[in-house]
Structure formats: C-alpha cells, structure tokens
Amino acid sequence: MNVHEYQAKALFREFGVAVPNGQLATTPEEAERAAKALGSPVVVVKAQVHAGGRGKAGGVKVVKSPAEAKQAASQILGMTLHTPQTPPEGKLVRKVYVEAGSNIVKEYYLAVLFDRASEKFAVVASTEGGMEIEVVAEKSPDKILTSQVDPNLGLREYQARDLGFRLGLDGEQIKKFVPFVMALYALYQAKDCSQVEINPLVLTAEGDFFALDGKLNFDDNAL
C-alpha cells in the first residue's frame, strides 16, 4: 500500500525528518489561503496522486503569490494526470499540496528498503537526486551508494556518517545529514515500511536538508 505525499510528510514530521512547511487543499480558494498562511515568496502547488513524474506531466507548478497559487490549483485540480507510473487511463487529481519553496543548492536520492538477497535492510543514496532511480541504476550504477544494516543491530551512526562522506558532504553538512538518516530509519522501523524513499532530498543554501518528496510503501500485513 502507498500513501500520498502529504501523508508521508506528516509521518516524516512525526519522526523528526525535516520537510518544508505545507498545507493540503481541495479547492483553488483553499490553495490561495494556504499560500498566504505559508508566507513564503515562492510556493509549490503539487498534485496528490500515487505516481512519480508529476512535474513533467504538469502536476507541479512553482508560483510567486497566493493569487498564482489559486490559479495553479484551478488548473491541476480535476485534471487527469498521465505519467509513466500511472495506469493508461491516468489518475484524477482531487487534492493538491501547497508547500513553501526551498533555496535548493543540491539534490540527492535517499531510501531505506529491505534487501531480500542479503536478508538485511539497506540505506540507499545517490548524488543524482530528482532523477528516476531506475534510470540512474541503468546509466550510472556507480552513483548508487548502499549501506547494509543488520536487522539485529540497527543502523549505526558511523554508517550514516560514512554514507555522507561518500556523497561528498563536508563536516557541517554531515552533522545534519546523520540525524536526518537516523530519523528516517526510525520511521521505517516503527511503521513497518517495506520502503521509504525521498527523491529529491535537497540541501539548501542555508545548509539544511529537507525531504522535498516522500514515498512510503507498506506491506498490507503491516497496516
């Protein structure tokens, strides 16, 4: 079972995984009010459907005022979104998520999943954030970094730190990256997820990490 981005981010907040401020909206007027409440000079209006590739399909719009947020929401709500991850008939958009914009310096990929071959958990990261991980695996497999976690021991801080160094992060960035990864792993464990994916994980000009998107998959038996 999958959940929507806004639901995933609510769980992220619960476990201390940093996300930008955002609000759910089901009408253009609600989107306008959400943009006003956020008070950010730039906001992003995102279609809430169970599919990746929303931006390329017109389901994600960056705007610079509450009035523009209202207009963007009116365009997105009610549209049928077609992406490589939707069924042929597409997905009807009934909700949008209005989120504060981020001053992005770099995008990364980060996930926690179960590696059945090794019977261990795996924390997977890449410097190629924003791209579909399947494309990265095919074209640049060397850019996918993996740290395997013994289920009996759990994720250790040195493993998260090592992953940060392998991503090319500096000392100050790693001080924020390590607790971010540890919090994500805690969520993965506590909620019996089969996979938690952040694509992209962004580093801002202020030196903070944020989950700009979030996908959580649960085994039906874990619900």
CA atoms of 46 and 105, how far apart (whole Å): 21
Instruction: Confirm if 62 and 99 have CB atoms less than 8 A apart.
Output: no
Find out whether 25 and 37 touch, Cβ atoms under 8 Å: no
In the set 109, 128, 185, 188, the catalytic residue is: 109
- Matching residue, tokens 């759910």: 24
- Tell me which of 5, 32, 99, 197 is the catalytic residue: 197
Reply yes or no: is the peptide bond before residue 88 cis, omega within 30 of 0: no
- Other C-beta atoms lying within 10 Å of the C-beta of residue 142: 7
Distance from the first to the final alpha carbon of the chain: 9
164 burial (CB, 10 Å; 0-12 / 13-18 / 19+) is buried
**109 among known catalytic residues:** yes
The yes-or-no answer on residue 197 being catalytic is yes
Q: How many CB atoms lie within 10 A of CB 68?
A: 18
**Hey, which residues are catalytic here?**
109, 197
